[in-house]
Amino acid sequence: MSRLATSLCGIPLRNPVLAASGTFAYGVELESVVDIEAIGGLVVKGLSREPMEGNPAPRLWEAEAGMINSIGLQNIGVRAFVSGKLPALRRFATPVFANIFGYAVEDYVEVARVLEDAEGLAGYELNVSCPNTKHGGIFFSSDPVSLAELVSAVRRVARRPLIVKLSPNVAQIEPLARAAEEAGADAVSLVNTFISLAIDARARRPRIGAGFGGLSGPAIKPIALRLVYQAAQAVRIPVVGLGGIASGEDAAEFLIAGAQAIQVGTASFWDPASTARIARELDQFLAREGVAGVREIVGTLRW
């Protein structure tokens, strides 16, 4: 599959298809259903300083052409990840990215510090969709100043490549993508989920235990494509695109919009091997289109 060979922030990738955070556990759990060495890379579930139990059930709702979730960032905590999961992940020749989150800048910095001492990671992805508890709950992801403060602080401790994952719940993506770039991000990834509400009309209650949830899956793809295109126009660093990708041709659309790599999230819920399948389909798509190397189609949208 040399047609698919590429790189991201200097990290060689056998193909540009990565598994998205929160939909691929810590990687090792998926080993029996997907060939980990057939995918370009994987992003593990978001890691916090301490373990978190997450939100009350129900946490998932199947919406029209998509899925709403409010897992509440349940995870085993960064130290248990380093001691219990990372050693098994090191067996694979596939780049592993640690997804990091917190509610204050110090939380993110502490998680990054613990990961810096661990072997076997290719880089980090910062999930900035959390409310900043030190600034009255304003979301890092919607305020360029808070975002820049967070990215600079993590940048100071992180020697590995740093991807900042942007939220789509903003009026304008460009100022946020630029703020991440100027604060030292090596790449931006987008999109995270769209804040949404599903209602059970008979019970007159939200269908998700926590009330609101994040919408993902095919329903969001056209909006994600627009945001990826706009972000790619706004920054010089690489863009990683995601949101509703379920086929090789979907992946090609994000690359054409300007993404250098893509991630697959919700599709892994109905086809756990979808990441590897999408890489194969992308290869076939490029062959049919007469494209010799995947980089050639990045940012080639014609108006």
Ligand X SMILES: Cc1cc2nc3c(=O)[nH]c(=O)nc-3n(C[C@H](O)[C@H](O)[C@H](O)COP(=O)(O)O)c2cc1C
Q: How is residue 162 written in tokens?
A: 């740093």
- Smallest CA-to-CA distance from 66 within 265, 281, 203 is with 265
Q: Supply the minimum distance, in Å, between the C-beta of residue 9 and ligand X.
A: 17
What mask, x for binding ligand X by CB under 6 A, covers residues 139 to 178?
A: --------------------------x-------------
Number of residues that bind ligand X (CB under 6 A): 25
Q: How far apart are CA 53 and CA 251, in angstroms?
A: 33
Q: Supply the minimum distance, in Å, between the C-beta of residue 265 and ligand X.
A: 2
Among candidate residues 126, 130, 148, 177, the one labeled active-site is: 130
Q: Which stretch binds ligand X (CB under 6 A): 21-29, 49-57, 109-117, 144-152?
A: 21-29
| Contacting residues for 136 by C-beta, under 8 A, at least 6 apart | none
Which residue carries 């072997």 as its tokens? 119
Of 13, 15, 18, 21, the one binding ligand X (CB under 6 A) is: 21
DSSP 6: E
- For residue 6, what are the β-bridge partners? 13
Of 6, 15, 23, 275, the one binding ligand X (CB under 6 A) is: 23
Of 20, 232, 294, 298, the one binding ligand X (CB under 6 A) is: 20
240 sits near ligand X (criterion: CB under 6 A):
no
Site for ligand X in 108-127 (CB under 6 A): 127
Q: How is residue 193 written in tokens?
A: 């989920």
Position closest to ligand X via CB: 22
242 sits near ligand X (criterion: CB under 6 A):
yes
Q: How far apart are CA 225 and CA 241, in angstroms?
A: 8
Q: Supply the minimum distance, in Å, between the C-beta of residue 50 and ligand X.
A: 15
Of 99, 141, 146, 167, the one binding ligand X (CB under 6 A) is: 99
3-class secondary structure, 43? strand
237 sits near ligand X (criterion: CB under 6 A):
no
What mask, x for binding ligand X by CB under 6 A, covers residues 58 to 77?
A: ---------x-x-x-x----
Active site residue 130: yes
Q: Supply the minimum distance, in Å, between the C-beta of residue 210 and ligand X.
A: 13
Which residue carries 């126009």 as its tokens? 233
Please say whether the beta carbons of 191 and 217 come within 8 A.
Answer: no
Sequential DSSP letters for 236-266: SS-EEE-SS--SHHHHHHHHHHT-SEEEE-T
Parallel/antiparallel/unpaired status of strands 162-165 and 123-127: parallel
**For ligand X, which is the closer residue by CB, 176 or 220?**
220
Site for ligand X in 208-227 (CB under 6 A): 216-217, 220
Q: Supply the minimum distance, in Å, between the C-beta of residue 127 and ligand X.
A: 3
- Smallest CA-to-CA distance from 64 within 207, 217, 199 is with 217
Strand ranges inside 70-174, DSSP E: 96-100, 123-127, 131-132, 138-139, 162-165
Question: Where along the sequence are the contacts to ligand X (CB under 6 A)?
Answer: 20-23, 45-46, 67, 69, 71, 73, 99, 127, 165, 192-193, 216-217, 220, 242-245, 264-266
Active site amino acids: 130
